[in-house]
């Protein structure tokens, strides 16, 4: 990896477009191929940058291991993964929240150790431990809303954005847990060795984040 090149780990999926828009507003010349390519590494040599396109849950892993200097990761992923990275800026994009949901007929008193399905087993177990409630956690990788409908779990812990997925599947929110936005994260070694470029990036992003917030 070139000394001066900054490698940015970007989350594929729903955060991606908002993160790209933020970088473009900060005047980073993001190559047009970002928008339609299936390539997983995209070079932007004129900006001294290289982008790797990762699964959202894996972004902190790439950054922790230093194969990416910086990255964009949801607060949900940061809580779940607990990676050794610096969280330096709230990008205030992809706002949503984590919630506990169930079928409307669900009676919380009906089970001794209710089953809770989630893509976030660590976050979920921590949450219920703090609540003093004993639950059995069932780890799934997506389509979590299926679990209570099909009888795999009593409750789910998942991201709610518009609320449409819960509604479309006849589930109701029981509890709002944590507000989530995307964060700019940095590898601790890169923060020292590439401090000029990374500080500049943080400043430019912070400026457009503030403009975005003022505009709302």
CB 74 within 8 A of CB 11: yes
Among 158, 171, 184, 209, which residue sits at the site for ligand PRP (rule: CB under 6 A)?
A: 158
Query: 213 is written with which tokens?
Result: 């917030």
3-class secondary structure, 119: coil
d(CA 70, CA 9): 6
d(CA 120, CA 57): 10
Binding part of the chain for ligand PRP, among 17-25, 77-85, 163-171, 178-186 by CB under 6 A, reads 163-171
In the complex, residue closest to ligand PRP by CB? 142
d(CA 102, CA 110): 13
Q: Does 131 bind ligand PRP (CB under 6 A)?
A: no
Which is closer to ligand PRP, CB of 132 or CB of 142? 142
Binding part of the chain for ligand PRP, among 34-42, 86-94, 154-162, 176-184 by CB under 6 A, reads 154-162
- The nearest distance, CB 120 to ligand PRP, in angstroms, is 10
User: Within positions 102 to 121, which residues make up the interface with ligand PRP, using CB under 6 A?
Assistant: 119
Using the 8-state DSSP alphabet, how is residue 5 labeled? P
- The nearest distance, CB 93 to ligand PRP, in angstroms, is 15
Q: Does 165 bind ligand PRP (CB under 6 A)?
A: yes
Q: Count CB-CB contacts under 10 A for residue 153.
A: 23
Q: Does 150 bind ligand PRP (CB under 6 A)?
A: no
């Amino acid at each position: 990896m070139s000394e001066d090149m900054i490698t940015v780990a970007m989350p594929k999926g729903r955060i991606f477009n908002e993160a790209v828009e933020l970088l473009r507003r900060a005047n980073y010349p993001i190559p047009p191929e970002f928008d339609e390519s299936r390539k997983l590494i995209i070079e932007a040599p004129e900006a001294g940058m290289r982008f790797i396109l990762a699964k959202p849950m894996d972004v902190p892993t790439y950054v922790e291991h230093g194969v990416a200097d910086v990255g964009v990761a949801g607060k949900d992923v940061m809580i779940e993964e607990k990676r050794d990275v610096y969280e330096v800026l709230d990008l205030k994009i992809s706002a949503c929240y984590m919630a506990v949901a169930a079928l409307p007929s669900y009676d919380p008193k009906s089970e001794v150790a209710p089953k809770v399905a989630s893509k976030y087993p660590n976050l979920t177990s921590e949450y219920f431990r703090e609540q003093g409630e004993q639950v059995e956690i069932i780890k799934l990788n997506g389509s979590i809303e299926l679990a209570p409908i099909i009888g795999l779990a009593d409750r789910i812990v998942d991201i709610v954005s518009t609320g449409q997925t819960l509604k479309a599947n006849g589930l109701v929110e029981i509890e709002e847990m944590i507000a989530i936005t995307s964060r700019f994260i940095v590898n601790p070694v890169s923060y020292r060795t590439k401090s000029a470029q990374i500080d500049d990036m943080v400043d430019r992003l912070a400026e457009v984040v503030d403009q975005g917030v003022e505009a709302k």
